[in-house]
Amino acid sequence: MALLRNCSIFLCLIALTYSASVDNYENSKVQLEEYIQNKKKDINPRFRPLYHVVPPVGWMNDPNGFSYHNGEFHLFYQFYPYDSVWGPMHWGHSSSPDLVNWKTLPTALLPEKEQCFSGSAVSDGDTMILMYTGHASIDVEPYYNESQYLAFSDDGINFHKYEGNPVLPRSPNGSPDFRDPKVWKRGDDYYVIIGSKTSDNRGRVLLYKSRDMKNWEFLNVLGESNGDLGYMWECPDFFELDGKFVILMSPQGMAPQGDRYKNTYQNGYIIGSFNYDTNEFVPEVPFQEIDYGHDFYAATTTEANGKRYVVAWYSMWEMAHPEDVDGWAGAMTMVREMSIVNNRIYMKPAEAMVNLRDGVAVDGDVGSYEVREFGKGVEIFIDSDLNQKIDVLFDGRDGGGKVWLRWNPEFRKVVVDRGANDVREVLWEPVGSHTWRVFLDSSSIELFCGEGEAVFSSRVYPHGGWRMVNESPQALRVKAYNLRRSVPE
């Protein structure tokens, strides 16, 4: 009887401790939202986008939990609210009915003993389940460990962490780099892939299977670097698209090769085939970059209404973030729709972007060295003779950042040049349309060539709206639309 009584007391103490922990966590969430509301008053809006998702305050990096749940798109992100530099990771949260008009929701996850690193989301009826990497400090080298955690929500806004965390405490080979789970459901089974590395520092993606998301079986190494694709594969994704299977990932440690792989870290994909009976992925097309610009990382996808959409962190590690002095840093790219054509991924802006058009700004020829001026948000179609050079300068009406878009028919390359030899370029062979579709926002440019076979995403920081100067030897046919705001100020 004494033993039973002692056990009862012990269980009560555990319950009280857990209850107090939950109360403290909920109080921390309330305090954080109060802090954010107050801090927003101090934000300098000069570079704040009109139609790209950004943090309400503080720092943003990788997109997380990009998903479609109960008729709404959800986009979470790595978030540190208390400074405009990287810090203990939270999950910020935005939602949208159409991938274009976004609202900011309360912070979804706060760190406790673990930082809340990147992950994904899946719907189970009315329940939304987050799976994320818990990054925790330990007392021995390498002084950190990464495990996989769960959190649940019945309303898509308020999340509670699973009491049994972590559900995947360690990698099969003991590597401490074991992060960024991407989960999906097929039939009655859940699958997840996780980024990791081999014992000799080659990036790899691990595949697991579960019936309940709590108990996982390791199936296979889905993909692995042969030594040329970096020492770590971050933020992996895996999906079927147009009859093929795709591993999308962000390799760290790839050496530059001519025009390719010039960013700090890369983002790209391997196309192949996959068999759910053998759990084997067979590569058919070697690694390719998915975006050729300066600022595109940690891309992640979701499927809805028969389409596959992708979004990425609109920034890059180890680079300057001029907005950080304004109380915030980091952004998300526009959401793009994906397809596979000729063994390559093409990307086009989400269809609903056309609903942001708010009047025609230019419609006609722009002669050599003629100038046009715009506000902070504009969509521009440029048609030209590809047998002649194209050289278009976009800069600030009041100075600040500038960028050139160029084409030389001799080399058949599209060039995005931010000056000071900060150049990104790629061979372009149009498959249909020869049009450039350019999206300018308060601190960014996105260029879609032709059918989306070459896309560039780069941050640029003009002052006082945009100016376009046609420095080409030919006149350009230009149609431009002003774009309205679709994200909170």
Give 6's DSSP letter.
Answer: H
- Confidence at 410, pLDDT banded by 50, 70, 90: very high
Q: What is the mean pLDDT of residues 223-248?
A: 97
Q: What is the mean pLDDT of residues 308-331?
A: 98
Contacts of 411 (CB under 8 A, 6+ apart): none
Residues annotated as catalytic (active site), given as ranges:
62
State percent of the chain over pLDDT 70. Answer: 96
What's the chain's average pLDDT?
95
CATH superfamily of 357-483: Exo-inulinase; domain 1 (2.60.120.560)
Strand 268-275, strand 280-289: pairing: antiparallel
Helix (H, G, I), strand (E, B) or coil at 422: coil
Q: What is the mean pLDDT of residues 336-353?
A: 98
SS (H, E, C) 258-305: CCECCCCCCCEEEEEEEECCCCEEEEEEEEEECCCCCCCEEEEEEEEC
How does pLDDT run across 34-43, given as a tens digit for each residue?
999 999 999 9
pLDDT at 20: 53
Helix (H, G, I), strand (E, B) or coil at 15: helix
Give 168's DSSP letter.
Answer: B
**What are the phi and psi torsion angles at 430 (to 5°)?**
-55, 140
Q: What is the mean pLDDT of residues 106-126?
A: 97
Q: Which residues of 317-337 are buried (b: 16+ CB within 10 A; e: fewer)?
A: eeeebebeebbbbbbbbbbbb
pLDDT at 8: 46
Q: What is the mean pLDDT of residues 401-422?
A: 97
How does pLDDT run across 292-305, given as a tens digit for each residue?
999 999 999 999 99
User: What does 201-222 look like in DSSP terms, one character per residue?
Assistant: S-EEEEEEEESSSSS-EEEEEE
- Please report the sign of the dihedral spanned by the C-alpha atoms of residue 167, residue 172, residue 177, residue 180: negative
Q: How far is CA 156 from the centre of its chain?
A: 20
Q: Where are the domains of the chain?
A: 56-349, 357-483
Q: Dmax over Cα atoms in the chain, in whole Å? A: 95
Q: What is the mean pLDDT of residues 336-354?
A: 98
State percent of the chain over pLDDT 90. Answer: 94
pLDDT of 3 > 70? The answer is no
**What are the phi and psi torsion angles at 181 (to 5°)?**
-65, 135
The arrangement of secondary structure in 56-349, i.e. its CATH architecture, is 5 Propeller (2.115)
Contacts of 444 (CB under 8 A, 6+ apart): 49, 52, 295, 314, 331, 457, 458, 459, 460
pLDDT of 354 > 70? The answer is yes
Single out the residue of 158, 210, 203 nearest to residue 183, CA to CA. Answer: 210
pLDDT of 287 > 80? The answer is yes
CB 286 within 8 A of CB 250: no
Q: Select the more confidently predicted residue: 93 or 17.
A: 93
pLDDT of 10 > 60? The answer is no
pLDDT at 19: 52
pLDDT at 22: 76
pLDDT of 21 > 80? The answer is no
- Confidence at 453, pLDDT banded by 50, 70, 90: very high
Q: How far apart are CA 435 and CA 386, in angstroms?
A: 10
pLDDT of 5 > 80? The answer is no
Torsion, CA 94, CA 98, CA 100, CA 104, rounded to 10: -20
pLDDT of 388 > 90? The answer is yes
Single out the residue of 333, 312, 328, 319 nearest to residue 62, CA to CA. Answer: 312
